[in-house]
Amino acid sequence: MMITKKNTGHIYTVSKLTREIKSLLEDTYPFVWVTGEISNFAVPASGHSYFTLKDHQAVISGVMFKNQKQRLKFRPENGMKIVGLARLSLYEPRGAYQLIFEHLEPEGTGSIQVAFEQLKKSLSAKGLFDDKHKKSIPFLSSGISVITSGTGAALRDIINVSRRRFSNCCLEIIPVKVQGKESENEICNAIFLANQLKSTDLIILARGGGSLEDLAAFNSEALAYAIFDSHIPVITGVGHETDYTIADFVADLRAPTPSAAAELAFPDKKNLMQRIFKLQENLNSALKNEIASLHKTVLSLNSRLKSPETIVYDFRFRLEDYESRLNNMMKHYIQYNKEKFNWLLQALQSGKPDKKILSNRQHIVSLLNLLTYNFQKRLQVIKTNHLELETKLKELNPEAVLKRGYSISRFVSNKKVVFDSNDVKLKDQIEVVLSKGQLITRVEKING
Amino acid sequence: MAKKKTFEAALKELEEIVKEMESGDLCLEDAVKKYESGMKQSRYCLDLLDKTERKISLLTKDHEGNIKEEPFKDE
Amino acid sequence: MAKKKTFEAALKELEEIVKEMESGDLCLEDAVKKYESGMKQSRYCLDLLDKTERKISLLTKDHEGNIKEEPFKDE
Amino acid sequence: MAKKKTFEAALKELEEIVKEMESGDLCLEDAVKKYESGMKQSRYCLDLLDKTERKISLLTKDHEGNIKEEPFKDE
Amino acid sequence: MAKKKTFEAALKELEEIVKEMESGDLCLEDAVKKYESGMKQSRYCLDLLDKTERKISLLTKDHEGNIKEEPFKDE
Amino acid sequence: MAKKKTFEAALKELEEIVKEMESGDLCLEDAVKKYESGMKQSRYCLDLLDKTERKISLLTKDHEGNIKEEPFKDE
Amino acid sequence: MAKKKTFEAALKELEEIVKEMESGDLCLEDAVKKYESGMKQSRYCLDLLDKTERKISLLTKDHEGNIKEEPFKDE
């Protein structure tokens, strides 16, 4: 039932594992009946008895402490077959487990009355001992009816054990006589009473040790049926005898002594609580482990969740590149167009018409000079022509004849030149034009 | 309701839960649920252990057959 | 709302987001959105773990110590 | 309006513009227009990057540090 | 009015004028007219280049420096 | 009136006059008339050249220098 | 009246007169008359030449020098 495998990958220390095995063993087998053959029997100075118990297949170490041994009615020795009630215990320093015996009795020995054997046989035949009729003992009983002598050591033992193992137990003691004539009846009635009251869920039927005669009530058929008919499970704890009583066979659980019965009836509270605490601890650590592991997973994912900052940086670089390319291209465009423009402007300037103006000006000035020159030349020719004519005219001036002594005669009256003397009459006034001056004359004679 | 569940059953349940949790195959929510349920079982068990007060009584019958209950005075 | 999403679902989502982001095929807007969502999931997961841890601590104390368990009002 | 254009779209546009300008067949007016448009896209992208970075920084701080995330009102 | 003529058109016109002037077949009046017209085109081109350059410089500054972009009122 | 006669026409006329004068067959009156007319044409041409020169100088200055273009009122 | 006779006509007349007088067939009286008439023509020509020369001198000065052209009032 305990956890034996851990797939959480947890690694045990030796001590821890051993401790867990110990509690596992001791919890699972608080008390066991075991049978086997004694060997290697030894009693060292301590007085405790050490031996191995074996059968044809296995061996197991056993010990019986001095106190328990004193109560035995026989001396155990090698080769002896025994039945014993023992706790299983693990000794941590050596990792060895052993059986610590509370009680030992020889197997198959003892003087048994024929009646006992007959009753046993008959009841067994009727099925009263059958395991299928055995009721389970409540793990944690709510109350226990203790049927025993009100004054005996058995009751004290039971109370002591119960106080030790389960301090807040509820005990309902039904005192009975455990030997003598009335004892059988009283015990049977006590069982009936417990079943009638139903205030408990377990019955301990106990008695201290005694002879077979003393135990007569426990070997009675009536008690056997009373136990068998009880709805409440019954644990027997009768005497220290090696022999079984009939009651032991019918009981749902048999303990060798009253205190052993109490031990079987009461779980060890401390142990149980530790077990629960342990489970709680396991529960806590399992959840904590899970949380821790999930925490780790989340953190690891978190660390892989890369911020998109680097993407942003990449894009920034790209944008810078684009922008600088844009700027460069734009500068290039402007530069290119400027150059083209400047080239054209230069071409335009070199085609500036001012040279043409200069040459035209020179051309006009030279034309003007030529015009003036030719005009002057022409004027000169005209002047010369006129002068020549005037000279010629002046040479032909009729007054030149007079300078050679000639004179011209004209009628004063009509200024007509006198060519013929016949035209003249006497006393006519004639003007004589000389080279220098004029004479006015009168005709005195005419020669014709 | 709790009355109906025995100590043993609760302990068993708690043990099962611990086993499941230690197997590690649960999702967080289920693990928490299991954990809570486990704690409940454990508390239930502890309560059961602590619930009763120590009581030892003596049942006797008088001559007329009437049952008498009286505290047992051994302490 | 957050109550309705289990830890496992949030963790799964976070895992998906991390994977998608690691694949590197996201555009800027999506990457930012994924990152945001991833941060949210991771916070949510861590919160749940913290809450759960505190709960355990309270339950444990209640048992061994003196502090009584206080009911979680948000549950 | 700007909200409707994704960063990727703007970047793509910018890329196209740079390519067109580098192909070198544009007249001055077109080049200027392209340049202006390109600068606009680039500024838009830078704005988005700035915003994104601030957001990331807030998200990251919120997660690692103490500052609480404040909702982005413009989204 | 100037808005309607592109830089390229003005430059082309200027080119035509230069070509015609270089052919040398013009009479004085036409040469002067062409020169005048050429100078006009060239001034127009220069203005456009200047404007463009200023505009680019502003856009560039706005981005890298501190000066805010002022809208070009004449556009 | 001067506007209507081109520089080239005036120059042509002047050239004709010079040629006629050189032929030498002119009577005084005609010679004088021709001479006068030649002088007039030449003055006209020179005037045009002066005006043109000033105009070009202004255009050039305006372009290369700082002087603002003043509209030519006589055009 | 003088206006109406050109320099050439006057000169022609003078030439005729000289020719007639050289023929020698003229009576004295006619010769004297012719001579007087010839002298008149010649003086007329001379006057015209003087006038023309003054005019030209003015035109030339105006052109090359500083004196402004004064309109010829007798034209």
Cα–Cα distance, E31 to A361 (Å, whole number): 16
Question: How much of chain A, in percent, has pLDDT values that exceed 90?
Answer: 18
Instruction: Return the pLDDT at F57.
Output: 85
Name the most confidently modeled range: A324-338, E51-65, F52-66.
A324-338
Token pair of D41, please? 């896209």
- On the 0-12 / 13-18 / 19+ scale of CB atoms within 10 A, A156 is middle
C7–A301 C-beta distance less than 8 A: no
Q: Is G44 on the interface with A (CB under 8 A)?
A: no
Non-local CB neighbours of A432 within 8 Å, separated by 6+ positions? A407, A408, A409, A438, A439, A440, A441
Beta-ladder partners of A96: A91
Cα–Cα distance, A101 to A87 (Å, whole number): 6
Is the residue at A282 inside a domain? no
Q: Is the pLDDT of residue C73 over 50?
A: no
Question: What mean pLDDT do residues A157-181 have?
Answer: 87
Is the residue at A292 inside a domain? no
Could you give the ipTM of this predicted complex?
0.65
pLDDT digits (tens, 9 = 90+) for D28-44: 888 889 999 999 999 99
Q: Is the pLDDT of residue D58 over 50?
A: yes
Detail the DSSP E strand segments found in A29-187. 32-42, 49-54, 59-64, 81-91, 96-106, 144-148, 170-175
- Shortest Cα distance from A280 to chain B (angstroms)? 7
Return the ∠ at Cα A27 (arms to A25 and A33), rounded to 5°. Answer: 75
- Low-confidence spans in chain E with pLDDT less than 70: 1-4, 62-75
Query: What would you report as the CA-atom Rg of chain B, rounded to the nearest whole angstrom?
Result: 21
- On the 0-12 / 13-18 / 19+ scale of CB atoms within 10 A, A342 is middle
Q: Is A356 on the interface with F (CB under 8 A)?
A: no
Cα–Cα distance, E40 to A84 (Å, whole number): 134
Q: Is A335 on the interface with D (CB under 8 A)?
A: no
Q: Which of residues 19-48 of C touch B (CB under 8 A)?
A: 48
Question: What mean pLDDT do residues A247-258 have?
Answer: 89
Q: Which residue of G has its CA nearest to F35?
A: G56
Token pair of A432, please? 């004589």
At residue C74, the 3 state secondary structure works out as coil
Q: Which residue would you say has higher pLDDT here, F68 or A182?
A: A182
Which of G6, G7, G29 should we substitute to test contact with A (largest number of A Cβ atoms within 10 Å)?
G29
Question: What mean pLDDT do residues B45-68 have?
Answer: 82
Give kind and range of the element (H or E) at residue A411.
strand A408-411
Q: Which residue of A has its CA nearest to D60?
A: A307
Q: In the predicted model, what is the mean pLDDT of chain C?
A: 77
Q: Would you place residue D15 in the very low, low, confident or very high pLDDT band (cuts 50, 70, 90)? A: very high
- The conformation of residue A134, written as its DSSP 8-state character, comes to P
- On the 0-12 / 13-18 / 19+ scale of CB atoms within 10 A, A86 is buried
- On the 0-12 / 13-18 / 19+ scale of CB atoms within 10 A, A284 is buried
Question: What mean pLDDT do residues A402-413 have?
Answer: 85
Q: Which residue would you say has higher pLDDT here, G73 or G7?
A: G7
- Shortest Cα distance from G32 to chain F (angstroms)? 29
Q: Would you place residue D3 in the very low, low, confident or very high pLDDT band (cuts 50, 70, 90)? A: low
Q: Would you place residue B2 in the very low, low, confident or very high pLDDT band (cuts 50, 70, 90)? A: very low
Instruction: Return the pLDDT at A63.
Output: 92
Domain span at residue A438?
403-442
The full length of chain E comes to 75
Q: Which of A267, A282, A308 is the last residue of a domain?
A: A267
Question: How much of chain D, in percent, has pLDDT values that exceed 70?
Answer: 76
Neighbours of chain F (3+ CB pairs under 8 A): A, E, G
Question: What mean pLDDT do residues F5-34 have?
Answer: 87
Instruction: Return the pLDDT at D19.
Output: 92
- Shortest Cα distance from G37 to chain F (angstroms)? 21
Token pair of E10, please? 């003005």
Q: Which of residues 2-41 of C touch A (CB under 8 A)?
A: 7, 11, 14-15, 17-18, 21-22, 28, 31-32, 35, 38-39
Q: Is the pLDDT of residue D68 over 50?
A: no
Instruction: Return the pLDDT at D71.
Output: 43
Token pair of C69, please? 């368990």
Q: Which residue would you say has higher pLDDT here, F32 or D67?
A: F32
Helices (H), F1-75: 7-23, 28-64
Order of all β-strands in the sheet with A408-411: A408-411, A429-433, A438-442
G67: number of Cβ within 10 Å: 11
Q: In the predicted model, what is the mean pLDDT of chain D?
A: 79
Q: Is A333 on the interface with D (CB under 8 A)?
A: yes
Instruction: Return the pLDDT at C61.
Output: 66
A330–E35 C-beta distance less than 8 A: no
Instruction: Return the pLDDT at A61.
Output: 92
Give kind and range of the element (H or E) at residue A372.
helix A354-395
Cα–Cα distance, C64 to A281 (Å, whole number): 11
G49–F27 C-beta distance less than 8 A: no
Q: Would you place residue A356 in the very low, low, confident or very high pLDDT band (cuts 50, 70, 90)? A: confident
Amino acid occupying residue A57: Q
At residue D51, the 3 state secondary structure works out as helix
Point out the least confidently predicted range of A42-51, A130-139, B55-64: B55-64
- Residue F17's alpha-carbon distances to A183, A216, A380, F20, G32, in angstroms, are 186, 187, 18, 5, 43
Question: What mean pLDDT do residues A296-306 have?
Answer: 89
Cα–Cα distance, B54 to A161 (Å, whole number): 13
- Residue A183's alpha-carbon distances to A86, A178, A222, A242, A338, in angstroms, are 31, 5, 11, 22, 138
Cα–Cα distance, G75 to A319 (Å, whole number): 87
Q: Is the pLDDT of residue A56 over 80?
A: yes
Q: Is A379 on the interface with G (CB under 8 A)?
A: yes
Residues of G within 8 A of F32 (CB-CB) are 52, 55-56
Q: Is A279 on the interface with D (CB under 8 A)?
A: no
Q: Would you place residue A240 in the very low, low, confident or very high pLDDT band (cuts 50, 70, 90)? A: low
Question: What mean pLDDT do residues A128-156 have?
Answer: 88
Question: What mean pLDDT do residues D11-27 have?
Answer: 89
* Cβ G15 vs Cβ A382: under 8 Å: no
Instruction: Return the pLDDT at D69.
Output: 41
Is the residue at A306 inside a domain? no
* Cβ B50 vs Cβ A168: under 8 Å: yes
Q: What is the dihedral of CA D63, D67, D69, D73, to 10 degrees?
A: -150
- Shortest Cα distance from C5 to chain D (angstroms)? 20
Cα–Cα distance, A137 to A262 (Å, whole number): 12
Q: Would you place residue G63 in the very low, low, confident or very high pLDDT band (cuts 50, 70, 90)? A: low
What total of structural domains would you count in chain A?
A: 4
At residue A412, the 3 state secondary structure works out as coil
Instruction: Return the pLDDT at D37.
Output: 92
Q: Which residue of C has its CA nearest to D5?
A: C29
Cα–Cα distance, A99 to A118 (Å, whole number): 34
- The conformation of residue A447, written as its DSSP 8-state character, comes to -
Q: Would you place residue F63 in the very low, low, confident or very high pLDDT band (cuts 50, 70, 90)? A: low
Token pair of F11, please? 């120059």
Give kind and range of the element (H or E) at residue A236.
strand A234-238
Do A368 and A411 lie in one domain? The reply is: no
Q: Would you place residue A138 in the very low, low, confident or very high pLDDT band (cuts 50, 70, 90)? A: confident
Do A361 and A434 lie in one domain? The reply is: no
pLDDT digits (tens, 9 = 90+) for C5-26: 888 899 999 999 999 888 877 8
Token pair of A176, please? 């009975």
Point out the least confidently predicted range of A144-148, D5-9, D10-14: D5-9
Q: In the predicted model, what is the mean pLDDT of chain A?
A: 85
Q: Would you place residue A179 in the very low, low, confident or very high pLDDT band (cuts 50, 70, 90)? A: confident
Q: Is the pLDDT of residue C62 over 60?
A: no
- How would DSSP label each residue in E11-71? HHHHHHHHHHHHHT---HHHHHHHHHHHHHHHHHHHHHHHHHHHHHHHHHHHHHSSPPPPP
Q: Which residue of G has its CA nearest to F36?
A: G59
* Cβ E28 vs Cβ A357: under 8 Å: yes
- On the 0-12 / 13-18 / 19+ scale of CB atoms within 10 A, F35 is buried
Instruction: Return the pLDDT at A225.
Output: 92
Cα–Cα distance, A422 to A425 (Å, whole number): 7
Q: Which residue would you say has higher pLDDT here, A147 or F57?
A: A147
Instruction: Return the pLDDT at D41.
Output: 92
Cα–Cα distance, D30 to A337 (Å, whole number): 13
Q: In the predicted model, what is the mean pLDDT of chain G?
A: 77
Q: How far is CA E30 from the centre of its chain?
A: 22
Q: Which residue of A has its CA nearest to F10?
A: A364
Q: Which residue has the tokens 């309607």?
A: E4
Cα–Cα distance, F30 to A5 (Å, whole number): 148
Token pair of D55, please? 């957001």
Residues of A within 8 A of G56 (CB-CB) are 375, 379
- Shortest Cα distance from A389 to chain G (angstroms)? 6
Give kind and range of the element (H or E) at residue D39.
helix D28-64
* Cβ A146 vs Cβ B58: under 8 Å: no
Q: Is A156 on the interface with B (CB under 8 A)?
A: yes
- Shortest Cα distance from D69 to chain E (angstroms)? 30
Q: Which residue of A has its CA nearest to G61?
A: A372
Cα end-to-end distance, chain A, whole Å: 215
Q: On the CB side of A277, how many CA atoms lie within 13 Å of its CA?
A: 11
Q: Please tell me which of the candidates A357, A364, A367 has its beta carbon nearest to residue F53.
A: A357
Point out the least confidently predicted range of A146-150, A205-209, A238-242, A323-327: A238-242
